[in-house]
Amino acid sequence: MSEELNRLNLYEEVWSDPIMIVAKRYGISDNGLRKRCTVLNIPLPPRGYWAKLKAGKPVPERTPLPNFIEEGKLLSLIYTEEISLDQLKEMKGFDILTPNSIELLSDWCKKILVPKQIEVFHALVLKHQAEMEYRIIRDQEYPHGARLHKPFAKVKFRKNEPTIPIRVSKNQSKRAYKIVDTVLKAFMDLNAGISVERGDFDNITISLLKSSLSFEFVEHKTKLRDLGHEDKSQDLIPLYQKVYDGKFSISWIVRRSRLSGSDKAEPHNISFSEMGGLSLENQLPTMIYDLCKLCCNDEIVYRVKEKEEDLSYEKQKRELREKEIAEQQRKIIEMKQGYIDSLVNEMPVHANNWFEYNKLMRFADELEDYLKTLRDEENIQFLIQYIRLVRENAVKFRPIDKIVEAMKLIEK
């Protein structure tokens, strides 16, 4: 209940103030807060939202807060923002999952089963079926490619459209399709993205966490003696030919997402084969479990590198700030020294002005004493005005105010 309450409060905050302001309240970076919102399934205002709002322009309505279903996911990740880099480096495989998710995943993998009958195949399996049917007919109609125009051909010539890399005999295609369909639907349950990219070659891409998986599904071939040509060895016809033997293998390549151009992400290669006697159907639970473990490990490595980059960036920012502060201190010291040098250079002037000030003030005092001896009222008024002028001009020579002002600048 408290987690949901905190989530609701955070949702209200990120829709009330820009994320940088909210992040400062929690003492974390805005990038760290975004990650936290992603983990908690909290929607954020779209890019440009606050600029439009400030400019008085219309903005999109607030995205409703969805239900928090993180703990119900098969791959529910723990929050690692507050975990130290050393702790993160010690983590392996399923350490990145919540305890509940580890248990859910293990139980789920054990229940993976290739059904005897499939009512609706995955769309990519259906596409493979259609593409293989087309290729067979096309190759029969155009054995030499598209060089010869055939107006009455069953199909028009076109290049291969990429599809799942499944290479099996026609007799084993149904079984292969059921296995591949089970694999694809298992990854759908894991909320993985599945696609076939455009290009010249058959391919499959499965995006799970920070990993990209691809596989090749093949039926093995075995060398058999070509008995039909035993008496024709002189014709240089091979005595052996390769034929499908009904045994499958699936070879996987797991690539971690690269964080930057300098990030060297080495792929993982893992294969599962029936050559050892165990059917591929019975290996699926272990296969999906092991692939999930590799993806979780890639997630950890990605987060380690991400944290290293964040720490490096923060270090660079800190060093830059320290340089800026040092430069500011240097300029302040230089400025202070300039004030001191100026004050020292003006000391003789200050001394002369001080003597001049005191001389004029004593002169004004003596005139006031003399004023007491006068009897002519008109002369008295003239002299009073003169004394005032003397004192006013004496103040101009007084250096104390300038000295105090200079000392204040030095002490700032």
Which of 334, 330, 327, 339 has its CA nearest to residue 410?
339
Which of 280, 315, 316 has its CA nearest to residue 182?
280
Instruction: For residue 365, give both structure tokens.
Output: 């005092």
The answer to whether 109 and 314 have CB atoms below 8 angstroms apart is no
The domain limits of the chain are 1-68, 104-312, 346-411
289-317 pLDDT, tens digit each: 999 999 999 999 999 998 898 889 889 99
CA dihedral 20, 11, 9, 104 (to 10 degrees): -120
Q: What phi and psi values does residue 158 have, to the nearest 5 degrees? A: -150, 165
Q: Count Cβ neighbours within 10 Å for each residue of 4-41 and write b for 16 or more, e otherwise.
A: eeebeebbebbbeeebeebbeeeeebeeebebbbebbe
79-115 pLDDT, tens digit each: 887 788 999 999 999 999 988 889 999 999 999 999 9
Q: pTM here?
A: 0.67
The number of C-alpha atoms within 13 Å of 130 and in the hemisphere containing its C-beta is 9
pLDDT at residue number 5: 47
The number of C-alpha atoms within 13 Å of 305 and in the hemisphere containing its C-beta is 16
Q: What residues are paired with 213 via a beta bridge?
A: 206, 254
Q: What residues are paired with 252 via a beta bridge?
A: 215, 270
pLDDT at residue number 1: 33
